[in-house]
Structure 1
């Protein structure tokens, strides 16, 4: 008999919608309730949240009778959020000591499943310090290059690196931050081995095949090999992990592991390493399926995951150049979707053609063929790992709920519409168009008043894009928020058009 508890407490990576709203959407699909910390205890962009208050909140939540599980972002528990984890000056000893709170949380209710995610800090290949230490605007690309050179040298002892010129203070600080992050990840691994954490994902945030993060991830995989089947996952990803762990929790609570069949019109595209990642897509797919609580299948499956494979030219919807459209790739994916739907399958699309947004031609073609409304889920935002994990999370929740008679069709539809609006209508259609007029053509946050002025304009345009897709939906765009007062991400609130003027 499956567990009937339906409450999940989430300590998210930060306050952005992908870390709060998306996991809540996944939970709602299966009739679960996701509870989040008080807003004023969470981080606000570069301003850290309050780790003590957050730990106290989580301790109280796990003791409530209907709480089935707790999901914890180690970066938030220790540093107060994603960006604070990158820029904090806290000592390693002080940071690691905060992990002891997990022992107390687990001891307070051992019957609550405790999952956690800890990130391998990125080293952005850019000169933007918007989300990094202040010196990144002068030395960011050199530091990324240093990580790649060091990784290559370490992997091949016959290679002597010729490092870029850097001030010793900058290099020392960079190294110290990476060491602190690595030791926190190892400490979290130790808690998993102790049984404090029931499942641990250690994911690489925005990386590359040769980089500091990839070298450190190799060490994590060493420990995985030393103690296999230890409930530890390591793969590229970050902001999707809250949703993935919610799906995994739902599957575990219901005692169901859905099967997933992967379909790609261009199977050779599965061997590509997507932008901002460090392993072939096919490897990431296998690891994300396992992380979501599902299992692969080659024949009949609960979920057909259609992959719109990466652009060999590595197109990016947040770049200054719009990627070229590959009509044959679009046609192949549309055919794969149509065939799977015709066979009666529950179809989910991971649109990883381009980084940072959908393939607009794919969405247009699916809408013209009246296929969009028949999808179980869709995702196509930021990195391939983000899109893949989000698509799987929605699909797994739906598959589990379908088998237990708890599927919330309205919540499933709402999640699909939200992703189409965010990943396609905003990220790939509107964002670049609006950047000069509403955001001064910068990735940096604008003044709060300017952001509030932009929000209703974006909401109106998103509604226009939703109307253009021609989907049969009762939902309308109620409101749009800009959580970090910048163009990169939006929060989309939906309402029932029948009751909302």
Structure 2
């Protein structure tokens, strides 16, 4: 039986890879772009669409030439990245680069997930870290932009994204370290102190030690990256705080890094929540710097909490995160919309608390808040301004009320960019990056990228994903985090539903849509729209 399942898995995986090759087109392992554009060597956090496919597609559409490594060297689902081979590849490509945008997690651990699960000794990690200093010798003129992450401390995790024990004990590990962080900041009540002691007694010591030791290595590597930045071996460092909370181990560790951050040259470092948007943000910065531009961004919020929103999976107010993203992308905050190169809208929840997009209240009904937001967007567009929408009212999907309002007002294909996926910072980084790069795109490419985001963030994440989970996965007693033999059926059902959605709401030919589940789980969809 096992042998039969493996052979079947091989057949559907082959079909999956063929479909994903459609999504990636022809850019992995070489240069992508047009004409004599500046060349950026880009090493992503892994091979997920949000790290590689969508990012490269965006930069290609803006006329930028990216040099990316062969996909087989990058981390994939159940496949560790190959740092040694990537360093060799990087040395070969370095002389041709006008800029480097590099994932520290990939070049040190192998990838984002590898940074949380590896068993590597400290001396190997330190040796890879020091190789960043050698980039100046390979190419002294190209700026070096590096992004990395503080190891995340999620409230839960399944599907092999953390060590195996995290599926059972992750909630307790999070609660333990969150209470320790809170104790340092403001002290604990007797009840909280009792809970902390109970967690300390109940958690298996070997799991706690393993998790904390890996975190200590990550912390040491991040201090090393800060040292390289201070020594001017790096030009910019972006440190993402992946899946964090106001009280968490990640928040505690970042606080401990502050004395090192204060001594850094101005304008060389940023840290904010999120991980999956970091490549997009730094590539936008590199593109702006190479073009000699510092675009200005004016920010508008929906009615309600607005900049005071504290989004799920994040540890600081949204208003601070927005400003941090704009600066990290090589931009500046504009005083007025009239002075701005881009007007960035934030669709924030009225009460400042983001729920999951699949909550039953996320209905396509008329709301005064979203109607007014759509009307204001229409006014900016009529005034000739570039408008981007970061739809952060919900986590992991679009606000159906907002998108319906935009559809009724004929705005969907008028925006410079739209994003509404995963965490608020993930959404923000994509909306900002694609919005700032849109000025370099022709109209056809801008609309194609918009269609991809509406298909994934609005149609799929907020609506179709729960449907396919019930119709295909749960009905067949499968698992959403390991589709396995259900992958072909889920792919076909999703593609059919997206085509139906496109016929109703979008301007594209539904037959041009192709989808895949490259990480064999419902959370990560790859969407392509043929030019």
2:514 is the counterpart of 1:452: no
In the alignment, which residue of structure 1 is the partner of 2:17? none
The aligned counterpart of 2:323 is: 286
**2:30 corresponds to 1:30:** no
Q: Is contact 2:240–2:271 with CA below 8 Å preserved after alignment?
A: yes
Does structure 1 residue 20 correspond to structure 2 residue 52?
yes
The aligned residue for residue 21 of structure 2 is none
Give the alignment's Cα RMSD to 1 decimal: 2.0
1:461 aligned to which of 494, 497, 504: 497
- Decide which moves more: 221-230 or 201-210: 221-230
- Distance, in Å, in 2 between the alignment partners of 1:156 and 1:328 is 40
Per-residue CA deviations over 1:42-82 (Å, capped at 9, x if unaligned) read 11223211111111112212212xx3211111111111111
Q: Which range moved further: 484-493 or 456-465?
A: 456-465
Question: Residues of 1 paired with 2:47 and 2:95: CA distance?
Answer: 24
Task: Indicate if the aligned counterparts of 2:152 and 2:250 stay in contact, CA closer than 8 A.
Answer: yes
Residues 476 and 412 of structure 1: is their aligned pair in 2 closer, same or farther, counting only changes over 3 Å? farther
Alpha-carbon distance in 2 for matches of 1:309, 1:353: 4
Give the structure-2-normalised TM-score: 0.86
1:176 aligns with 2:213: yes
1:417 is matched with 451
- Deviation, 1:456, is 2.8
Give, in whole Å, the separation in 2 of the partners of 1:127 and 1:78: 23
SS, match of residue 512 in structure 2: strand
Going from structure 1 to structure 2, the CA distance change for 1:458 and 1:196 (only over 3 Å counts) comes to: same
Matches within 5 A, 1:257-336: 257-266=294-303, 268-299=305-336, 300=338, 301-310=340-349, 312=351, 313-318=353-358, 321=360, 323=362, 327-336=367-376
1:27 CA drift (Å): 1.1
**Structure 2 counterpart of 1:378:** 418
SS at match of 1:257: coil
User: Hey, what does 2:269 align to over in structure 1?
Assistant: 232
Between 100-109 and 222-231, report the one with greater CA deviation. 222-231
The Cα offsets for residues 57-109 of structure 1, whole Å up to 9 and x where unpaired, read as 12212212xx3211111111111111111111112232122112222233111
Does 2:379 match 1:347? no
Structure 1 residue 214 displacement after superposition: 0.8
Deviations 1:208-255 (A, max 9, x none): 111011111223333222335150101111101111111111100000
The superposition leaves residues 322-371 of structure 1 with CA deviations (integer Å, 9 ceiling, x where unpaired) of: 54668122112212211211222110000000000001121122111101
Question: Which whole-Å CA distance do the structure 1 matches of 2:50 and 2:454 have between them?
Answer: 14
> Counterparts in 2 of 1:94-109, with a 5 A limit?
94-109=124-139
In the alignment, the residues of structure 2 paired with residue 60 and residue 464 of structure 1 have an alpha-carbon distance, to the nearest angstrom, of: 46
Are 1:210 and 1:278, in contact at CA under 8 Å, matched by a contact in 2? yes
Residue of structure 2 in register with 1:499 after alignment:
none
Which string of whole-angstrom CA distances, capped at 9 and with x for unpartnered residues, describes residues 9-28 of structure 1?
Answer: 21101100000122213312
Match of 1:43 in 2: 75
Per-residue CA distance 1:443-469 (angstroms, 9 max, x = gap) = 32121x421332233222212111211
Query: CA distance change for structure 1 residues 363 and 323 in 2, over 3 Å: closer, same or farther?
Result: closer
Match of 1:472 in 2: 507
The whole-number CA distance in structure 2 between the counterparts of 1:20 and 1:337 is 30
Partner of 1:149: 179
Which shows bigger deviation, 419-428 or 310-319? 310-319
By how many angstroms is 1:127 displaced? 5.5
> Which region of structure 1 is more displaced relative to structure 2, 32-41 or 248-257?
32-41
Shift of residue 421, structure 1, vs aligned partner: 0.9
SS in 2 for 1:133: coil
Contact kept, 8 Å, 1:43 with 1:49, in 2: the verdict is yes
Aligned to 1:248: 285
**Structure 1 residue 439: Cα displacement:** 2.8
Q: CA deviation at 1:398?
A: 2.3
Judged with a 3 Å threshold, the aligned counterparts in structure 2 of structure 1 residues 476 and 483 are, in CA distance, closer, same or farther, namely same
Distance 2:396 2:454 in 1: 13
2:44–2:102 contact (8 Å) kept in structure 1: yes
Matched residue pairs, number?
Answer: 482
Alignment check: 8 A CA contact 2:281 2:433 kept: yes
Please state how far the C-alpha of 1:256 moved relative to its aligned partner. Answer: 0.5
- Find the aligned partners of 1:428 and 1:129 in 2 and give their Cα distance: 21
Unmatched 5+ residue regions in structure 2? 1-35
* Separation of aligned partners in 2, 1:311 and 1:126: 27
TM-score, normalised to structure 1, is 0.91
